[in-house]
Structure 1
Amino acid sequence: MSGSAAFKDKTAIAGIGQTAFAKGLPETELQLACMAIRAALDDAGVDASEVDALGCFTQETTPEFEIARNLGFGELHYFSQVAHGGGAICGAIGQVAMAVALGIANVGVVWRSRKRGDPSKRQWAGVQPRIDDHWKWSRPHGLSRPVDEVAMMMQRYMHDHGATREDLAAVALAQRAYANNNPDALMREKPMDMAAYLDARMIADPLCLFDNCLESDGAIAIVVTRADHARDLCERPVLIHAFSQGMTREHQLMTDYHGADPFRSSSGATADNLWRQSDIGPSDIGVAQIYDAFSPLVLFSLENYGLCGRGEAAAFVAGGGMGPDGPLPVNTSGGSLSEVYLHGANLVTEGVRQLRGSAINQVEGVETCLVSTCDSTPNGALVLRR
């Protein structure tokens, strides 16, 4: 049996859970994590004592033993952490799914808990007096924040392909419209039009305020089991059909400037390996949840995953391609720009809701979903199906 056959459709997301989303929640990150995990276990109909695998981020502040002890888990047989922030959620889920598929563990939980609304939790706010790590190749040139690095890429994209700020605005406007119909979204009561977008303050030219993700608090959790086990649980299982992580040869933490092609990011490496394993190709994807800490990442990912041709993504979104009536609805809960910023964990839960048929902005008859993580970091992706 090939490696892909041993993994393909052998596991499923059986439960999802989340807390409230806000700019300042009173609970600690540990409390939020426990609340989300309990909700996900209840959603699946799984007892806490059955959990024997955990996956999370290296940036998670709550260690596994605190989670296990507070929720009453039994003995753990697998636990892992994945680095690179916004590139991590699909890797954390995929690694737990591999452990379950191989029989190392039976029930896994993956979570992300953040209090980003607390200024002390914003890792990019600090300034180093001396730079002697990989940042020395970008920060002395004024690229001190992730938004600066992504803005440089967008400037190059606009130069190469003739894209405009109005084209880029289509990403933020489409996701805001989805969020306006989502009762859980932070931007649910804040409609936006092109004039408001263009009038917003500039953060890193050409990226304005609305091209940047939210600063928010909350937690999300996902329960992974064997597919045959999931069929006996409470909710319709969503199968994990294919999974990959990826990092290109010249990649650094937030940039790929030194490679031969800066637009073939780690997403390109992930995509090639993902589609190699999958019976589902880019043209078969019915809905996509694409990491969007910054709106250009949606354009770059659409192209790297073969959902658009090279240089075509800006025109695709400007023509309504990612909206509810477009050929590929994208980030249908509002995403990180307008629902909540939890390092993309909300993209996974929205993908699950779409395939269950329970999403607020439900895509009719959808059977497949691509979930991708941060285009500008080493990353990962999942193909989910009904």
Structure 2
Amino acid sequence: MTAAIAGIGATEFSKDSGRSELRLAVEAIRAALDDAGLRPADVSGLVTFTMDNNSEIAVARELGIGELTFLTRIGYGGGAACAVVQQAVLAVGAGLADVVVCYRALNERSGRRFGQAFASPDPDSGWHAPMGLATPAAQVAMVAQRYLHDSGASADDFGRVTVAARRHAATNPYAWFHGRPITLDDHRASRWIAEPLRLLDCCQESDGAVAVVVTSLERARDLPRPPAVVVAASAQGSGPGQYVMTSYYRPEVGALPEMGVVARQLWDRSGFRPHDVRTAVLYDHFTPYVLMQLEELGFCARGEARHLIADGGVELGGRLPVNPHGGQLGEAYIHGMNGIAEAVRQIRGTAVNQVPGDGPVLVTAGTGVPTSGLVLAPSL
């Protein structure tokens, strides 16, 4: 059975939502169901992140969903983004649920701020927290420094990722940084967070929610909104010697082998190859991880991403447009779920910054942790 994404929904993206995360989740799910032409009573499954603060039963009560036959959660923060859709696809394919909603809601700016130092109960943190590596930026900076050494890339190459994202966000009215593009000089002038990462190398903190409705392709074709968006492939992956954000003990530090695990599965299962991809929606929590993903996914050879992004290569009209909505650097940080919504819009042909063509769209989830990915394609 082929699964499809039949609906997407989101709240506005802000820095102070003024309402609970439960309300945000309910608003996004209602919008997604309306988009699909479905009712809450049609939903039989819910999937979210282990980090989401909204219990499935609370969400179901508020929406009036009724009985649920499938409930599950995925761990590892942003690495769960595409995996929640994979779980929905598996449930639909196995006949465990007919309509599954994937959701993520967070007040990350007005509530718990992910960018601040915190004490983790994970025993892995004992390897780095005592040395002062207590924030994601500090942890990623170590990998980024090694990547610069290995690849010959420069901090300006990181900046080019941000410039592209902010240029795309500037023409997206739903983006937090709508109307606010930046230059490479702006990136160079932004303050250090953890060398070699500057402020503009780090994704923003956002309040908001996004939901995605998954059902069978057959049912999706009977719903009011065509065309259905086919999940051509989904995958999860963890690399050897994997830690959380700090896999410094592998033979090669400046790489993301977990994304390589995902990439091989996506290309094998979908039958597509990197050159088929119309646009890539890459998880851009930190700019260096965008370059590393391009290499792991096969869009260029190891150490060559700096050449791919040169001269606007990842901007609209470039060789491979990346994050035409502005990504988490420019639109909002909703743990990657807003990237899935953008990929659906690209397939539908309704994106604000529409990339021409009829090829598939690639989506990735958070890296530095066990991660996931999707290949979405139009239905025939």
Give the TM-score, by structure 2 length: 0.96
2:267 corresponds to which of 247, 253, 275: 275
**Matches of 2:222 and 2:330, distance apart in 1:** 35
Q: Is contact 1:256–1:265 with CA below 8 Å preserved after alignment?
A: no
Q: Which residue of 1 is the match for residue 131 of structure 2?
A: 141
Q: Is contact 2:237–2:259 with CA below 8 Å preserved after alignment?
A: yes
5+ residue gaps in structure 1? 1-5
2:67 corresponds to which of 71, 75, 90: 75
Say whether residues 1:221 and 2:214 are aligned partners.
no
**Matches of 1:25 and 1:257, distance apart in 2:** 37
Return the offset for 1:45.
0.1
Change (3 A) 1:146 1:361: same
Q: Is contact 1:252–1:377 with CA below 8 Å preserved after alignment?
A: yes
Q: Which residue of 1 is the match for residue 236 of structure 2?
A: 245
1:344 corresponds to which of 325, 336, 344: 336
Return the offset for 1:159.
1.0
Return the offset for 1:216.
1.1
Q: Which residue of 1 is the match for residue 198 of structure 2?
A: 208
1:362 corresponds to which of 344, 348, 354: 354
1:53 corresponds to which of 45, 48, 53: 45
Say whether residues 1:152 and 2:142 are aligned partners.
yes
**Matches of 1:191 and 1:25, distance apart in 2:** 24
Q: Is contact 1:335–1:347 with CA below 8 Å preserved after alignment?
A: yes
Within a 5 Å distance, the mapping from 1:90-169 to structure 2 comes to 90-118=82-110, 120-123=111-114, 125-128=116-119, 133-169=123-159
1:260 corresponds to which of 251, 275, 283: 251
Specify the SS of the correspondent of 1:125. Answer: coil
Specify the SS of the correspondent of 1:121. Answer: coil
Say whether residues 1:314 and 2:325 are aligned partners.
no
Q: Is contact 1:55–1:111 with CA below 8 Å preserved after alignment?
A: yes
% identity of equivalent residues = 42
Q: Is contact 1:287–1:366 with CA below 8 Å preserved after alignment?
A: no
Q: Is contact 1:297–1:374 with CA below 8 Å preserved after alignment?
A: no
Larger displacement relative to structure 2 (334-343 or 70-79):
70-79
**Matches of 2:309 and 2:364, distance apart in 1:** 17
Q: Is contact 1:50–1:74 with CA below 8 Å preserved after alignment?
A: no
Return the offset for 1:368.
0.4
Q: Which residue of 2 is the match for residue 3 of structure 1?
A: none
Return the offset for 1:374.
1.3
**Matches of 2:166 and 2:146, distance apart in 1:** 26
Return the offset for 1:156.
1.1
Larger displacement relative to structure 2 (264-273 or 152-161):
264-273
Runs of 4+ in 1 over 4 A off after TM superposition: none
**Matches of 1:249 and 1:306, distance apart in 2:** 19
RMSD: 1.4
For residues 53-84 of structure 1, the C-alpha deviation after alignment (integer angstroms, 9 at most, x for no partner) is: 11000001010001111101131111110001
Specify the SS of the correspondent of 1:191. Answer: coil
Return the offset for 1:142.
2.6
Change (3 A) 1:183 1:132: closer
1:172 corresponds to which of 159, 162, 169: 162
Say whether residues 1:300 and 2:292 are aligned partners.
yes
Q: Is contact 1:265–1:376 with CA below 8 Å preserved after alignment?
A: no
**Matches of 1:141 and 1:331, distance apart in 2:** 34
Q: Is contact 2:108–2:114 with CA below 8 Å preserved after alignment?
A: no
For residues 160-194 of structure 1, the C-alpha deviation after alignment (integer angstroms, 9 at most, x for no partner) is: 12111111111000000000000010001322111
Q: Is contact 1:354–1:366 with CA below 8 Å preserved after alignment?
A: no
Q: Is contact 2:295–2:305 with CA below 8 Å preserved after alignment?
A: yes
**Matches of 1:329 and 1:214, distance apart in 2:** 21
Larger displacement relative to structure 2 (79-88 or 275-284):
275-284
Q: Is contact 1:168–1:318 with CA below 8 Å preserved after alignment?
A: no
Q: Which amino acid aligns with 2:133?
A: L
Q: Is contact 1:216–1:341 with CA below 8 Å preserved after alignment?
A: yes
Aligned length: 376
Specify the SS of the correspondent of 1:280. Answer: coil
**Matches of 1:132 and 1:313, distance apart in 2:** 33
**Matches of 1:151 and 1:34, distance apart in 2:** 36
Return the offset for 1:287.
0.8
**Matches of 1:170 and 1:132, distance apart in 2:** 34
